[in-house]
Structure 1
């Protein structure tokens, strides 16, 4: 046994001094896979500029998407549009509108107040003298500075394409970072439903971001999977994008499962990966428009396997909670039974003792033996009840230790005295050579219970006229108490079971002593409660 020793600002708002780099804030609308158009904001107080820009970019396409234009005639109007549409990809902004610096104030509003670092901002001015190019580029977080006269159709097309491409790439990085944050945050708590949902959402974000997946994607878990239409499958929880972002209907769920058991998913370019728990399908990763390479599919399957492991952890946790509740009930009834039996048994033992003392001269040998056996049985029963009550207290978390500085040598000597009545009839000598060990913080009563139990076991299974030796040694921050006997030994197959409840080694006591099979379990729990460990 080992114990551990316990001892009002200017009109133009310039950038502030350099600050440490901060993670980019994540906006839910960034590169939303449910969107079919790139959103572009035109901010200018000249109606002709709006009309010319629309006409020049009417055939614009990037990454299989066209443009949806938003128009603002002032900085104030643009601010309201930006609040309502955080997924605008690019904004072309005039400088001089309702005020001489309205466009620059709008840039600061976007970057600082909205915290939107993904939208690409292009300053497009007809009065370059009001906002010199070098000054604006150095003092404002923009992505381009153009004079209106320098943007014919071809250059306008190229400028916007570059801006939207940058927005897409930044948004993918943002989505992946946010997805990874969700996974890492949820990982330590995958025994709760909400962290598992967050984990699923993070996995979906990584899949979409890394592999450019399509519109409608879903990860879900169900109570049961029905292969036919005779029963309905119900979701336990899910995470989705596109049309699955807000809810998943029973029809959607059953259609997805039906697709899994047919070739339809291949024809529709639908990827369906089952989530298997204990050899049973309990959910799916569902991806539409899944034109993926073998390498990408391999990585998606790895992510799906992690989702299945998260579900398995959740299932195991709830199974453990159910078992703990059953164990609490068992402890409650066991404690009640043991407590109610202790008093009657104590009375029986007292009556036997009274008869033995008062009628000793009138009893014949056979009657005296009956009373002795009855007393022995009563002692065994009371010992069993005491052990049961200790087990109940320990498993219920109610083992409160009263720690005090304790002289371990004195405690061992008291324990030896307590078991001398067991050793003397078998002529077993208990040897202990006291050593100087600094006092330890212990619950002396509980630790004596451990030492007495170990000594009692040694005596119980030792042959008469042998020696039991107890020793104490100190190593670094640990104190080791060892009990050694010259008994029969313990079969190798039984060593690993010794600290399990009601398990007895395949060895008989040498004097007919009884065992409850609980003593070593209690020793282990008490030792561990002190921060130590016990072994054979």
Structure 2
């Protein structure tokens, strides 16, 4: 017997196993036989002509070259198993077909079983490692019994993959729909909440300006609380919308050349009032020889204000908060700029430090926490800086304070001092 023939032996044992899985056919499994020898097609069909698995029989498709097999795969993407010869019109025709199925067609569900009559020319170890196949058999190895077992196990794997893919597609569709509904809800709530909030803020400003008559000190204090609370709520809405846009990949940066001194000064102005209320000293230091940076000015200011606001919030009255700009790795070809926000506040406990960039996480949990806020700020800071190609780091010590550092790459044209 030639080494490329497919022998049919142990027919009785094969028939006994077939009885265990046979039942009236409710469909077919498509099996593609790829071999340049007609006898191999005939023997395979004879060996499996009564096969049934999960109430489905086999439907055979034949290809006599790798080129023909690739065309059939295009026409029948639902093929369950390919029994694929290696050496046909070329020594690697079968291997080329494997790559075409897995890489070009991106078909991961079909089970590919390589069959070769010349294993010495196609080393099994090399093929199994380098090609995405499911089994490797010599043609003399595939007796009727072995062929039956191979087909059953391959169909089980194929069924599982098809089921997993279907479940994944269903889950993805549900996720897309859920994301769409979430975005629609946030967009609606953004409008519905922002409109009355702006009206409240506008009316509060009018009342504080005594456009509708004189107010007393108690009324003024109450109106200031309304104004402050409304601004906090408006800030929360803005942060939630920004976080939602980033997660959806819809937030685009507007990169321009920005004066560093102006950026830092304007950021400090946003928090100056809160610092004065707590008698916290604000300081700023800049790098003299670096005056501009290419960033999204609005977003970087948003980051710095978040960090400064946090620093003031967690620093006791009479403390200090500083904003410093430095150059790191200045002697390297790709230096970075650092924006450091340092405080003399309460610090962050080591067991809390791994969680602070998680959305809606606060180091002071519980319903009666002393420090207000949603815990969204630092998560948003990290996301905005990563959009710029940078990262955020920090150091902290309980009772001594914290330092948050924003690291951003400098433009290629930076030449140092």
After TM superposition, is the score higher than 0.5?
yes
Question: Contact between 1:387 and 1:519, CA under 8 Å: does it hold in 2?
Answer: yes
Alignment of 1:72-471 (within 5 A): 87=64, 170-171=87-88, 174=92, 176-178=94-96, 180-182=98-100, 185=103, 195-197=106-108, 200-202=110-112, 206=133, 210-212=137-139, 214=142, 270-271=149-150, 284-285=156-157, 316=168, 319-320=171-172, 322-358=174-210, 361-363=214-216, 365=218, 367-435=219-287, 436-437=289-290, 439-471=292-324
Question: Contact between 2:385 and 2:392, CA under 8 Å: does it hold in 1?
Answer: yes
Corresponding residue to 1:473 among 298, 319, 326:
326
Q: Which has the higher contact order (CA 8 A, sep 6+)?
A: 1
Q: TM-score, normalised by structure 1?
A: 0.48
CA shift, 1:32, in A, is 6.8
Q: Deviations over 1:239-290 (max 9, x none)?
A: xxxxxxxxxxxxxxxxxxxxxxxxxx99x96247768xxxxxxx6149xxxx
Q: Deviations over 1:403-428 (max 9, x none)?
A: 11223343122211221111111121
Q: 1:204 to 1:462 in 2, by over 3 A?
A: farther
Q: 1:274 to 1:336 in 2, by over 3 A?
A: farther
- Structure 2's unaligned 5+ residue stretches are 1-32, 48-61, 69-84, 116-132, 395-417
The structure with the largest alpha-carbon Rg is 1
Counterpart CA distance in 2 for 1:504 and 1:419 is 21
Counterpart CA distance in 2 for 1:330 and 1:445 is 26
CA shift, 1:181, in A, is 1.8
What do you get for the CA RMSD once the two structures are aligned?
Answer: 4.1
CA shift, 1:196, in A, is 3.0
Counterpart CA distance in 2 for 1:310 and 1:512 is 53
CA shift, 1:467, in A, is 1.6
Q: May I ask how many residue pairs the two structures share in their alignment?
A: 301
- Structure 1's unaligned 5+ residue stretches are 1-26, 39-63, 65-84, 89-113, 116-167, 187-193, 217-264, 276-282, 287-306
CA shift, 1:36, in A, is 3.3
Q: TM-score, normalised by structure 2?
A: 0.60
Counterpart CA distance in 2 for 1:381 and 1:481 is 27
Counterpart CA distance in 2 for 1:364 and 1:431 is 33
Q: Deviations over 1:100-121 (max 9, x none)?
A: xxxxxxxxxxxxxx99xxxxxx
Counterpart CA distance in 1 for 2:165 and 2:353 is 31
Q: 1:431 to 1:314 in 2, by over 3 A?
A: farther
Question: Contact between 1:338 and 1:388, CA under 8 Å: does it hold in 2?
Answer: no
CA shift, 1:459, in A, is 0.8
